[in-house]
Amino acid sequence: MGKLFEGLEQIEAVREHLSGDSFMSGLFLGHANFELLLPPDEPPEEKAEGLAYCEKIEAFLKAHVDPDEIERSAKIPQHVLQGLLDLGAFGMKIPKKYGGLGFSHTNYGRVLTVIASWNNILSLTVAVPQSIGIGMPILLYGNEAQKDKYLPLVARKEITAFALTEPETGSDAANVQTEAVIDSDGENFIINGEKLWCTNSPIARYLTLIARVPARKQIAAHGDTVWHPTQAGAPFDACIHTAFILDMLTPGVTVKQRCQFEGCRGIENGHLTFEAVKVPKENVIGELGKGLKYALSILNLGRAISVPAICLGMAKQAWQPTLDRANTRITFGQSLGTRQTQQVRVGEMATNLFAMEAMCERVWQMADHKNYDLRIEAAITKIFCSEQSLQFLNDAQVIFGGAGYETADSKRFRGQPAFGMEQLVRDATMYRIGEGATDILRPYVAREGLNHHLEQIKPLFDENSSFAQRRQHIFKLLRNYPGWYLAQWWPRGLPDNPAFSATRVRKNLSYIERTSRKLARHIFYAMLICRESMRDDQGRQNRIEQVGEELFTIAMVTLHADSINRPYAHELCDEFVRCSRRRIRHLLNALLYNDDAARAKIGKKGIEGNYHDLSNGIIKRGLDDYPKTPYKED
């Protein structure tokens, strides 16, 4: 069953079962535990500390950072980076005993949102070291010597980065080819290979590097696997993924290129090569063979905070300018804001912005409560905020019209407000890709939604089990499944908790409870209908995730609206729930009955070249017909 999802087989091999409480795992099973959505209240002194720091950051940004200059020059000035280092902005998640600020996840998210509302590239630059740079891997998996040496450096002095992706390896992270081989004296690893799209690498001092280590396997007395690296040319059992601390000043490390993108022009993103780079064995983070698991674990939590915070900050940045445009732009004697088309658009924007805010704030609080396992919730939060922010900004650009397509500098030339609407749209596209693309995360979430059934039928696919063992397991399934299935038709009451006492809250959560059981039944039906073909049926996998995403967001919005003192909160909540329920009805129907196969058949033919003459009438060029060598200056 590890090969259920095509393209995710090796990622599945390092997947861990949920180790803590997860609301979404219960929801997919038809047994949502709403108590898990009520993390402890944020301590007032902790909140005050975060808000005070946000004011300090805001003052620094206004006084020292010109966002338009970063966009114009595609470079963050060194004085800005140094100023943020001095303020401790790169060490928000580092404990105070190592010189960091020791912030909660909630305060960290607050600060990133503020920075992103001024310049999202700067927020990304600050977030990367604290999500996937060397700080978190060392803090979570490093030894005391590594913590004492490196954490004070990354808290206040040095910028760090993360090196996983390679030219031929993207979301299939397990297929990295960069290799680290132990030398003859057993004291150093010699690393050769290359990494691509490594954010912050051109300005970083240290990297978290994931590389393959040829190693022999040994089974310890307690049954665990222990790996021992082998020298070049020696036999080995496997190449195991291992995490290293890499000093960028080490001989053999080369930044071959600073990559350029559609947006995010100030980002420092590099293509790196490693030629006989010597890394001391003391720079291995944690255990040999655990590097990919460490990387994915850190990414899982980072998805809940950094990208959602940046997306929220960008959307909030565009909100007031969009309202100003709608109220002041006069066409045919009327302002845009008086026209129903734009009122509907602004209404959708307000509703979705409120939902993004609700999702972020409550998930951040859940992340601060250590008993939760937020892998599924984090992935959903990242998907929702990245997709909704892009839609939000696209809608804002429509309201701006031509002024939304024109650059800030061009408008400034005529004395108009230099608001970079088009830049926000270009930049937002990246956040649906970074830290897990939407099309990768949706099957990842669906895997958890299907987990109960996969675990139940797993023995049937065990090649080592006998026919008698498989027959015995079939009888076991026949005994257990009827009771589980019948339970999905039986209503479960809400917990007796004051937080759920309000009529509107009880109504919405009761809807989630009913629909959760319906989703569980539909997942079961889909498994029966598709059986082994479910492996490749990404349309159904995506719908499982999307229904779960909708239900999770309804819960977040409902509880958020009931906990804040804003006169419009319930109005926006009701509108989101109304629209979400309509989407859920469509998704549940399409989970069982859809035309995906017909469309996929056409797409397959297109990929195979059956429709090649659709490009007739132009100067035809395939991908390989475009230049592959850099331009040479005269």
List, by residue number, the catalytic residues. 435
User: Residues with Cβ < 8 Å from 401, sequence gap 6 or more?
Assistant: 329
Q: Are 161 and 207 in contact (CB under 8 A)?
A: yes
Q: How far apart are the first and last CA of the chain?
A: 58
Contact 326, 181 (CB under 8 A): no
Quote the tokens at residue 590.
Answer: 């399409």
- Six-digit token string for 589: 């129907």
| Dist CA 217 CA 225 (whole Å) | 7
CB of 508 closer than 8 Å to CB of 584: no
Longest dimension (CA), the chain: 83
In whole angstroms, what is the distance from residue 55 CA to residue 61 CA? 10
Asked whether 312 and 389 are in contact (CB, 8 A), the reply is yes
Query: CA 265 to CA 560: how far, in whole Å?
Result: 35
> Do 132 and 285 form a contact (C-beta atoms < 8 A)?
no
3-state secondary structure 149-176: HHHHHHHHCCCEEEECCECCECCCHHHC
All residues at 6 or more sequence positions from 482 whose CB lies less than 8 Å from its CB, including other chains: none
Buried b (16+ CB within 10 A) or exposed e, 212-240: bbbbeeeeeeeeeeebebbeeeeebeebb
The whole-angstrom separation of Cα 490 and Cα 144 is: 52
**Does residue 427 contact residue 263 with C-beta atoms inside 8 Å?**
yes
Decide if 207 contacts 159 (C-beta within 8 A).
Answer: no
